[in-house]
Amino acid sequence: MVIPIPNSSSSPELEVNDLTALRSQRSGEGLALNQRYLNRQLGRVLQTLGFDREWVRGEGPYLIDSTGGRYLDLYAGYGVFALGRNHPFVKQALHELLDSNPPSLPQLGVSGLAGLLAERLVQLAPASIDAALLTSSGTESVEGALKLARAATGRTRILYCERGFHGLSYGSLSVNGNEEFRAHFGPFLPGCEAVPFGDLEALAAAIEPGDVAALIVEPVQGKGVYVAPDGYLAGAQELCRRSGTLFILDEVQTGLGRTGRFLALEHWGLDPDIVTLSKALSGGYVPVGAVLTSRAVFDATFSSMERSVVHGSTFGGGDFAAGAGLASLMVIEREALVDRARAMGDLLMELTLPLVERFEVVRAVRGLGLMWGLELGPPSGRAARRVWEAVEHRQPGLFAQLITVPLFRDHQILTQVAGHHMNVIKALPPLTIPEQELHRFAGALEQVLTGAESRLLRAYASLGLGLGRRALRAR
C-alpha cells in the first residue's frame, strides 16, 4: 500500500512504501517534526540545554548521533534499557518470534508465552506472590494494583508517600506525591492521602481507623533517589498486615536487578501483597508490565466467570511483549546482571562518595545498586550563596543543570535531574555498563564539579542566570 505523507514545508511530498527509505529520506527532520506535530515545549527545553542531538542508533550503553558522537546513556530511557540498547539476545529472540507468526492476543483464548512469563515472574517473586496480571506500562500496572486492592478489601482509602511517583494516568496521578505533576489536573480519585516517606508514626496514625485498602510505596523513590530508611518498609508491611491493608511495592523502576537484587524488596526480606513491574522487563523493545499478587487478591477481582474480563486491556499479555519479557529475564540470568548491578553499584558509590568531602556544593551521594543520585546544595560563602539563591529563585533546581549540561556537552554523558525543583543528579546506568565507563563518569563528574566550584561566581552569574532567563522565556 502506498501512503501519501502530507506535505511539510521542508520536504517534498513523498510516497512511502518502504520504512527504511522513509527513514533515510527524512533523516535530520526529527526536531522539526517534533516541533510541528509533537511536544514543542519539550523541543524548546532540549534546544535550551543543548540536548537536541539527532540520534541515529543505540548500541549497549551508548546513543550515537548523526555526527558519529557516542554518548554514554546513564538516563537509560528512565530505566527501560537495563540490558543496554538493542541487546543481541533479545533482538534474536524477537526476530525468531516474528518469523514464527505467533497467534498473539487471541482474546477469547490464551497464549502460551503469557503463561510462561507469568510463571517465571511468580517463581522469581517472594512466597506471597502466586499470580500475575500482564500490562503494557508502569502506570497501567499501578492502575491494576489500585483496582485489585479496592476490590480485595472492599475499602476505598489508599495511602501513598510524599514525593512518590507511580505514573501519570488518573489513578496513578491520584497517588503521585509531586505537586508539579498534579497541578491543573484535579480533582483526583477520592480516598487517596499522602503520608511522609519513612515516617512509621504518621503511617500508623493514617492506617489506624482500619479502612485503608492499600499503601503504595517505592522501595527507592525515583524522584530524588531516596532509599527507604532502615526499618521503614518492614514496619510499614507489619502495620498493613495488622490492619488488613494491602502492601503494594511499586518496583517499576527498582525491579529486575536495578538495585542489586532481582527485586529491591529482597534487601529487606519483604513479602508484599502486590508488586508492580514494567520498564526493564521490555528488554528495551516491547512495552510490557506486570501486577504480581497473591492468588487471594487476584481472585477477589476475577471472582466469577461473569467477572473474568472485569479488568485488563487489549494489549496485555501479547506474544511480543511476553517474549521480550521472557528473553529479558533470560539475559538477566545468563549474564548474572543482578550480581553485576550490585558490584557496579558498589564501585560507583566508592568512586563518587568522596565527592561529598571534596566539594562544598555536593551534599550527599546516595542510592542502591545502579540507582544513583548526587544532591547539590548552596555553598557556604556569602557571595556564592547569594548568587546560588538568585539562580534558584529564578528556577528551583537549575543548579543541577549546570552539572548535567557540561557532562553532556563536554564529556558525552547523558544524566538527568532527578525531579522538578530539586538539585539532584540521577543516573540509572544499564546493568551491562562497562566498568571503565563508571570510572570515566566519576572522573568527568569531578572535572565538571571542579570547574563549577573554581569558577563559582562567574559560572553562577553568567551560565546560571542566562539559563534561567532562557528557561523563563521558554515557559
Contact footprint for ligand PLP (CB under 6 A): 78, 137-139, 142, 165-167, 218, 222, 250, 252-253, 278
Name which of 113 and 217 has its Cβ closer to ligand PLP: 217
CB of 256 to ligand PLP, least distance (A): 12
State how far the Cα of 371 lies from the Cα of 226, in Å rounded to an integer: 10
Judged by CB, which is closer to ligand PLP: 181, or 333? 181
Is residue 217 helix, strand or coil?
Answer: strand
CB 219 within 8 A of CB 259: yes
Instruction: Return the closest-CA partner of residue 56 out of 22, 74, 30.
Output: 30
Min separation Cβ 366 and ligand PLP, Å: 17
Question: Which C-beta is closer to ligand PLP: that of 288 or that of 337?
Answer: 288
- The residue among 223 and 411 lying less far from ligand PLP, judged by its C-beta, is 223
* Nearest CA-CA partner of 260 in 368, 116, 410, 112: 368
Of 163 and 166, nearer to ligand PLP (C-beta) is 166
Question: What are the grid coordinates assigned to 144, written together?
Answer: 491494576
With a CB cutoff of 8 Å and minimum separation 6, the contacts of 379 are: 360, 361, 385, 388, 453, 456
Q: Which residue carries 521558554 as its cell?
A: 474
The answer to whether the CB of 64 falls within 8 A of the CB of 58 is: yes
**C-alpha grid cell, residue 61:** 550503553
Residue 450 neighbours by CB under 8 Å, 6+ apart: 359
Considering the complex, state which of residue 250 and residue 273 has its C-beta at the smaller distance from ligand PLP: 250
Q: Which is nearer to ligand PLP, 128 or 253 (CB)?
A: 253
The answer to whether the CB of 125 falls within 8 A of the CB of 316 is no
In the complex, what is the shortest distance from the CB of residue 432 to ligand PLP, in angstroms, rounded to a whole number? 20
CB 16 within 8 A of CB 25: no
CB of 279 to ligand PLP, least distance (A): 6
Go through the chain and tell me how many residues it has: 475
Provide the 3-class DSSP secondary structure of residue 369. coil
CB of 142 to ligand PLP, least distance (A): 6
The β-bridge relationship of strands 192-195 and 157-161 is parallel
Identify which of residues 77 and 397 has a Cβ nearer to ligand PLP in the complex.
77
In angstroms, give the least distance from the CB of 308 to ligand PLP.
25
126 three-state secondary structure: coil
Residue 223 in grid coordinates: 524522584
Residues 6+ apart with CB under 8 A from 291: 132, 133, 135, 141, 144, 145, 148, 274, 275, 276, 277
Separation of alpha carbons 448 and 454, rounded Å: 10
**Residue closer to ligand PLP, measured from CB, 329 or 428:** 428
Min CB(462)–ligand PLP separation in Å: 34
| CB closer to ligand PLP out of 73 and 218 | 218
Non-local (6+) Cβ contacts of 391 within 8 A are 398, 399, 460, 464, 465, 468
Residue 166 or 366: which CB sits closer to ligand PLP? 166
Whether the upstream peptide bond of residue 209 has omega within 30° of 0, thus cis, is no
Question: ∠ at Cα 452 (450, 456), nearest 5°?
Answer: 120
If the CB atoms of residues 161 and 387 are measured against ligand PLP, the closer one turns out to be 161
Which three three-digit cell numbers place residue 306?
Answer: 461473569
Shortest separation between residue 179's beta carbon and ligand PLP, angstroms:
17
- H or E stretch including 19? helix 19-25
Shortest Cβ 401–ligand PLP spacing (Å): 20
Radius of gyration of the chain (CA): 23
Report in angstroms how near the CB of residue 81 gets to ligand PLP at its nearest. Answer: 13
CB of 281 to ligand PLP, least distance (A): 10
The least distance separating ligand PLP from the CB of residue 419, rounded to whole angstroms, comes to 11
Comparing every residue's Cβ against ligand PLP, the nearest one is 138
